[in-house]
Amino acid sequence: MDHSLSGLLCQENRAEAVVVDEDLYVQFEDSNASEDEYVDVLTEKEIGLGFGRDESSVLSDWIKTARLYAINWILKTRATFGFRFQTAYLSVTYFDRFLSRRFIDSERCWAFRLLSVACLSLAAKMEECDVPALSEFPSQDYNFESKVIQRMELLVLCTLDWNMNFTTPFAFLPYFIPKFSNQSPPAHIWSNIMQLIFTLMTEVNLMDHRPSVIAAAATLVAIDPHLTRKAVELKMSSVSQYWIHEIENIYASYDLIQRLHMEKTERDKMMQSSSPPSPVGSMAINKLEASVVSSAVTSKRRRLTFTDHEESRGTHDGS
């Protein structure tokens, strides 16, 4: 099978043929299963999808920068369309999963924007009731025809083996928030957790971290950003003995989120008293900061290829 973009001609209805496993999105109040059984299903699902750090490879600086711009665009476009936050997170999961399997060289930076559009469109088809037409996605400095975006969607689908039903941290929040709160959680807890999750998302490869671990760590930081490792362990053991096996990963994520939160708070104070933030550093949720750290992807990746004819459709309008 030809897995280059030029070999993936398709009709739009095929690109939209993504099956949602509704059983995995059942809410607690609508299910006969207990909350623990529900979370067990989610954790088994995320384990099967292969989340976990690969220390053998590192993203180059230019890819990290391109990824950051892609996330910035995804978050802004999410706000434009009013998509749910899990839609943006899911699209970045597709984005990172794709980059772990395929290579985009530095001469085709426009391909990152095309990939961003395709991933967000596919995530919207999974999560949203009202999905905009491809022609409605903002192109800004790029001009992609709908059929080119459709081919990119199919390339993403094929690269991810048509497995688009990834778990996100948001599925675990209704479970962890009541477990960690001794009293009714404050009204702003959800927005605080979402801000922490999206701050982390700009810093790490999402395929390196299990969604349940991110959800637990972000919830703990939002409730109390000054916990010791022992305190985190006690919190997790009070939920279930299962999480004791993940305590190292949870505390590492807690420590990272806590540090990023403190750094962001300090930067916000500095920006308020000095110059306004740069365009790259301005995110859709409370101006999430855009610092870049090393993230890991698989080193052996298939090359993403484009024909000159197709590339002309994805280049800058002024070129």
Can you give the pTM of this predicted structure? Answer: 0.74
What are the tokens at 278? Answer: 């740069």
Residues across the chain:
319
Residues 6+ apart with CB under 8 A from 240: 36
For the chain, the distance separating the N- and C-terminal CA atoms, rounded to the nearest angstrom, is 32
Q: Are strands 302-303 and 102-103 parallel, antiparallel or unpaired?
A: parallel
Q: What does the domain layout of the chain look like in residue ranges?
A: 169-273
pLDDT at 276: 53
pLDDT of residue 308: 38
pLDDT at position 25, please?
A: 35
- What is the DSSP secondary structure assignment for residue 9, as one 8-state letter? -
> What pLDDT score does 273 carry?
73
The answer to whether residues 44 and 184 touch, using CB atoms and an 8 Å cutoff, is: no
Q: What pLDDT does residue 27 have?
A: 43
One-letter amino acid for residue 142 of the chain: Y
| Per-position pLDDT tens, the chain of length 319 | 444 443 433 333 333 333 333 333 334 444 445 777 778 788 877 876 666 665 545 666 778 888 999 999 999 999 999 999 999 999 999 999 999 888 887 777 789 999 999 999 999 999 999 999 999 998 777 888 999 999 999 999 999 999 898 889 999 998 899 888 877 777 788 889 999 999 999 988 898 889 999 999 999 999 999 999 999 999 998 887 778 888 999 999 999 999 998 888 888 788 877 655 444 433 433 333 222 222 222 233 444 544 434 444 444 444 3
Which residue stretches of the chain are H helix? 12-15, 35-48, 61-81, 85-99, 110-127, 146-159, 173-180, 189-201, 211-223, 229-239, 247-273, 308-314
Residue 21, CA atoms < 13 Å, CB-side half-sphere: 11
